[in-house]
Chains A and B, each alone.
Chain A
Amino acid sequence: DTAVSQTPKYLVTQMGNDKSIKCEQNLGHDTMYWYKQDSKKFLKIMFSYNNKELIINETVPNRFSPKSPDKAHLNLHINSLELGDSAVYFCASSQAASFVLAAQETQYFGPGTRLLVL
Protein backbone atom coordinates (compact mmCIF):
# COMPACT_ATOMS: atom_id res chain seq x y z
CA ASP A 1 0.00 0.00 0.00
CA THR A 2 3.02 2.31 0.05
CA ALA A 3 3.55 2.16 -3.70
CA VAL A 4 2.94 5.91 -3.98
CA SER A 5 3.65 7.87 -0.82
CA GLN A 6 3.33 11.52 0.06
CA THR A 7 4.53 13.66 2.92
CA PRO A 8 3.22 15.35 4.87
CA LYS A 9 -0.26 13.93 5.24
CA TYR A 10 -1.57 17.14 6.79
CA LEU A 11 -0.28 20.66 6.38
CA VAL A 12 -1.71 23.67 8.19
CA THR A 13 -0.05 26.98 7.48
CA GLN A 14 -0.57 30.72 7.31
CA MET A 15 -1.26 32.77 4.21
CA GLY A 16 1.90 34.00 2.55
CA ASN A 17 4.06 31.09 3.67
CA ASP A 18 6.00 28.80 1.34
CA LYS A 19 5.56 25.04 1.67
CA SER A 20 6.59 21.83 -0.07
CA ILE A 21 4.90 18.47 -0.53
CA LYS A 22 6.94 15.41 -1.42
CA CYS A 23 5.94 12.38 -3.45
CA GLU A 24 7.74 9.13 -4.06
CA GLN A 25 6.76 6.03 -6.02
CA ASN A 26 8.47 2.66 -5.84
CA LEU A 27 6.65 1.13 -8.79
CA GLY A 28 9.34 1.89 -11.34
CA HIS A 29 6.91 4.11 -13.24
CA ASP A 30 8.08 6.71 -15.72
CA THR A 31 5.27 9.22 -15.36
CA MET A 32 4.10 11.15 -12.30
CA TYR A 33 1.33 13.65 -11.75
CA TRP A 34 0.00 16.19 -9.31
CA TYR A 35 -3.74 16.63 -8.88
CA LYS A 36 -5.70 19.12 -6.80
CA GLN A 37 -9.00 18.04 -5.22
CA ASP A 38 -11.07 20.94 -3.97
CA SER A 39 -13.80 21.00 -1.33
CA LYS A 40 -16.36 19.88 -3.91
CA LYS A 41 -14.24 16.79 -4.59
CA PHE A 42 -13.38 17.89 -8.11
CA LEU A 43 -10.08 16.27 -9.24
CA LYS A 44 -8.03 18.44 -11.54
CA ILE A 45 -4.66 17.69 -13.10
CA MET A 46 -1.97 20.25 -12.34
CA PHE A 47 1.26 18.80 -13.73
CA SER A 48 2.58 15.71 -15.43
CA TYR A 49 6.20 14.62 -15.59
CA ASN A 50 7.73 11.87 -17.68
CA ASN A 51 11.24 10.73 -16.80
CA LYS A 52 11.90 13.97 -14.91
CA GLU A 53 10.68 16.10 -17.82
CA LEU A 54 7.61 18.31 -17.58
CA ILE A 55 5.09 17.23 -20.23
CA ILE A 56 1.86 18.79 -19.05
CA ASN A 57 1.37 22.05 -17.20
CA GLU A 58 -2.27 22.94 -16.85
CA THR A 59 -3.34 26.47 -16.02
CA VAL A 60 -1.74 26.68 -12.61
CA PRO A 61 -0.39 29.87 -10.98
CA ASN A 62 3.36 30.11 -11.21
CA ARG A 63 3.46 30.10 -7.41
CA PHE A 64 3.30 26.32 -7.87
CA SER A 65 6.58 24.82 -8.98
CA PRO A 66 7.04 21.07 -9.40
CA LYS A 67 10.48 19.52 -9.23
CA SER A 68 11.49 16.01 -10.19
CA PRO A 69 15.00 15.11 -8.95
CA ASP A 70 14.62 11.62 -10.41
CA LYS A 71 11.82 9.65 -11.99
CA ALA A 72 10.75 8.17 -8.64
CA HIS A 73 10.16 11.56 -7.01
CA LEU A 74 7.97 14.52 -7.84
CA ASN A 75 7.81 17.32 -5.33
CA LEU A 76 5.52 20.33 -5.30
CA HIS A 77 6.63 23.66 -3.93
CA ILE A 78 4.08 26.39 -3.33
CA ASN A 79 5.08 30.00 -2.77
CA SER A 80 3.02 32.71 -1.12
CA LEU A 81 0.18 30.43 -0.09
CA GLU A 82 -3.36 31.76 -0.50
CA LEU A 83 -6.65 30.75 1.12
CA GLY A 84 -7.81 29.27 -2.19
CA ASP A 85 -4.90 26.84 -2.17
CA SER A 86 -6.60 24.89 0.61
CA ALA A 87 -7.36 21.48 -0.86
CA VAL A 88 -6.20 17.90 -0.95
CA TYR A 89 -3.22 17.40 -3.25
CA PHE A 90 -2.75 13.96 -4.75
CA CYS A 91 0.34 12.63 -6.39
CA ALA A 92 -0.09 9.79 -8.88
CA SER A 93 2.06 7.70 -11.17
CA SER A 94 1.64 5.51 -14.24
CA GLN A 95 3.97 3.19 -16.04
CA ALA A 96 4.36 5.23 -19.20
CA ALA A 97 3.34 8.42 -20.95
CA SER A 98 2.90 6.74 -24.32
CA PHE A 99 0.61 3.83 -23.86
CA VAL A 100 1.08 0.67 -25.80
CA LEU A 101 -0.45 -1.71 -23.31
CA ALA A 102 -3.64 -0.98 -21.42
CA ALA A 103 -1.95 -1.86 -18.15
CA GLN A 104 0.46 1.01 -18.61
CA GLU A 105 -2.32 3.53 -18.41
CA THR A 106 -3.46 2.84 -14.85
CA GLN A 107 -2.72 5.73 -12.57
CA TYR A 108 -1.94 4.92 -8.95
CA PHE A 109 -2.67 7.64 -6.45
CA GLY A 110 -0.84 8.55 -3.28
CA PRO A 111 -2.75 9.02 0.00
CA GLY A 112 -3.07 12.76 -0.45
CA THR A 113 -1.84 15.82 1.43
CA ARG A 114 -4.52 17.86 3.13
CA LEU A 115 -3.44 21.48 2.95
CA LEU A 116 -5.24 24.12 5.00
CA VAL A 117 -4.23 27.73 4.58
CA LEU A 118 -5.39 30.05 7.37
Chain B
Amino acid sequence: GENVEQHPSTLSVQEGDSAVIKCTYSDSASNYFPWYKQELGKRPQLIIDIRSNVGEKKDQRIAVTLNKTAKHFSLHITETQPEDTAVYFCAARFQGYSTLTFGKGTMLLVSP
Protein backbone atom coordinates (compact mmCIF):
# COMPACT_ATOMS: atom_id res chain seq x y z
CA GLY B 1 0.00 0.00 0.00
CA GLU B 2 0.86 3.67 -0.07
CA ASN B 3 3.37 5.03 2.40
CA VAL B 4 3.87 8.74 3.05
CA GLU B 5 6.86 10.12 4.92
CA GLN B 6 6.75 13.69 6.23
CA HIS B 7 9.56 15.90 7.55
CA PRO B 8 10.26 17.63 9.81
CA SER B 9 8.07 16.52 12.68
CA THR B 10 8.40 19.94 14.31
CA LEU B 11 9.34 23.30 12.86
CA SER B 12 9.80 26.57 14.73
CA VAL B 13 10.10 29.83 12.84
CA GLN B 14 9.93 33.53 13.57
CA GLU B 15 7.00 35.54 12.28
CA GLY B 16 7.72 36.66 8.76
CA ASP B 17 10.03 33.76 7.95
CA SER B 18 9.25 31.08 5.40
CA ALA B 19 8.45 27.48 6.31
CA VAL B 20 8.89 24.39 4.17
CA ILE B 21 7.47 20.95 4.89
CA LYS B 22 8.43 17.99 2.74
CA CYS B 23 6.75 14.69 1.98
CA THR B 24 7.68 11.63 -0.02
CA TYR B 25 5.35 8.94 -1.23
CA SER B 26 5.98 5.36 -2.24
CA ASP B 27 3.48 4.59 -4.99
CA SER B 28 4.23 6.18 -8.34
CA ALA B 29 0.57 5.72 -9.34
CA SER B 30 -0.56 8.25 -6.71
CA ASN B 31 -2.15 11.22 -8.40
CA TYR B 32 -3.64 13.51 -5.77
CA PHE B 33 -1.77 15.27 -2.96
CA PRO B 34 -3.66 17.45 -0.48
CA TRP B 35 -2.35 19.36 2.50
CA TYR B 36 -4.40 19.74 5.66
CA LYS B 37 -4.01 22.15 8.55
CA GLN B 38 -5.17 21.13 12.00
CA GLU B 39 -5.27 23.74 14.74
CA LEU B 40 -5.21 22.58 18.33
CA GLY B 41 -8.44 20.80 19.22
CA LYS B 42 -9.92 21.39 15.78
CA ARG B 43 -10.63 19.32 12.71
CA PRO B 44 -8.19 18.95 9.81
CA GLN B 45 -9.02 21.40 7.03
CA LEU B 46 -7.79 21.39 3.46
CA ILE B 47 -5.52 24.32 2.67
CA ILE B 48 -4.20 23.40 -0.76
CA ASP B 49 -3.97 20.38 -3.03
CA ILE B 50 -2.24 19.39 -6.25
CA ARG B 51 -2.79 16.73 -8.87
CA SER B 52 -0.07 14.79 -10.61
CA ASN B 53 -0.48 16.65 -13.91
CA VAL B 54 0.62 19.90 -12.27
CA GLY B 55 4.08 20.78 -10.94
CA GLU B 56 3.22 23.75 -8.75
CA LYS B 57 0.19 25.48 -7.32
CA LYS B 58 0.00 28.68 -5.34
CA ASP B 59 -2.66 30.33 -3.20
CA GLN B 60 -1.61 33.61 -1.62
CA ARG B 61 1.08 32.78 0.97
CA ILE B 62 1.01 29.04 0.48
CA ALA B 63 2.31 26.97 -2.40
CA VAL B 64 2.79 23.31 -3.11
CA THR B 65 5.36 21.79 -5.47
CA LEU B 66 5.35 18.26 -6.83
CA ASN B 67 8.24 16.27 -8.27
CA LYS B 68 6.76 13.10 -9.73
CA THR B 69 10.11 11.65 -10.73
CA ALA B 70 11.45 11.88 -7.21
CA LYS B 71 8.03 11.15 -5.70
CA HIS B 72 8.08 14.08 -3.34
CA PHE B 73 5.99 17.16 -2.75
CA SER B 74 6.44 20.16 -0.50
CA LEU B 75 4.40 22.84 1.21
CA HIS B 76 5.81 26.34 1.26
CA ILE B 77 4.44 29.04 3.54
CA THR B 78 5.83 32.54 3.10
CA GLU B 79 5.57 35.49 5.52
CA THR B 80 4.45 33.21 8.32
CA GLN B 81 2.08 34.56 10.94
CA PRO B 82 1.27 33.34 14.46
CA GLU B 83 -2.09 32.08 13.20
CA ASP B 84 -0.21 29.66 10.94
CA THR B 85 0.71 27.75 14.11
CA ALA B 86 -0.84 24.30 13.70
CA VAL B 87 -0.12 20.71 12.71
CA TYR B 88 0.17 20.28 8.94
CA PHE B 89 -0.50 16.95 7.26
CA CYS B 90 0.40 15.92 3.78
CA ALA B 91 -1.48 13.07 2.13
CA ALA B 92 -1.45 11.03 -1.03
CA ARG B 93 -4.17 9.15 -2.86
CA PHE B 94 -3.39 6.06 -4.84
CA GLN B 95 -4.99 6.21 -8.25
CA GLY B 96 -8.35 4.46 -8.31
CA TYR B 97 -8.92 4.59 -4.56
CA SER B 98 -10.80 7.18 -2.58
CA THR B 99 -8.87 6.93 0.66
CA LEU B 100 -5.97 9.15 1.60
CA THR B 101 -2.77 8.04 3.25
CA PHE B 102 -1.55 10.75 5.59
CA GLY B 103 1.93 11.69 6.68
CA LYS B 104 2.60 11.83 10.40
CA GLY B 105 2.23 15.58 10.59
CA THR B 106 4.46 18.59 11.19
CA MET B 107 3.91 20.81 14.19
CA LEU B 108 4.62 24.34 12.94
CA LEU B 109 5.15 26.98 15.62
CA VAL B 110 5.35 30.59 14.53
CA SER B 111 6.69 32.90 17.20
CA PRO B 112 5.80 36.60 17.18
Contact = CB atoms under 8 A, between A and B. Distances in A.
Interface string A94-113: 10111100100111111110
Interface stretch (A12-20, A35-43, A75-83): A35-43
The winner among A44, A45, A90, A111 for most chain B CB atoms within 10 A is A45
Chain B: number of interface residues, binned into ranges: 20 to 34
Interface of B: 32, 34, 36, 38, 42-46, 49, 51, 87, 89, 93, 97-102, 104-105, 107
Consensus secondary structure, chain B interface: strand
Interface in A31-76: 31, 33, 40-45, 48, 50, 55-56, 58
Contacts of B44: 43, 90, 109
B104 A42 contact: yes
A41 B45 contact: no
B51 A48 contact: no
Nearest to A55: B98
Contacts of B99: 33, 45, 48, 56, 58
Nearest to B102: A43
B43 A105 contact: no
A43 B89 contact: yes
28 contacts: A31-B98, A33-B98, A33-B99, A41-B38, A41-B87, A42-B102, A42-B104, A42-B105, A43-B44, A43-B89, A43-B105, A45-B101, A56-B97, A56-B99, A90-B44, A96-B98, A99-B98, A102-B51, A105-B32, A105-B34, A105-B49, A106-B46, A107-B34, A109-B36, A109-B44, A110-B43, A111-B42, A111-B43
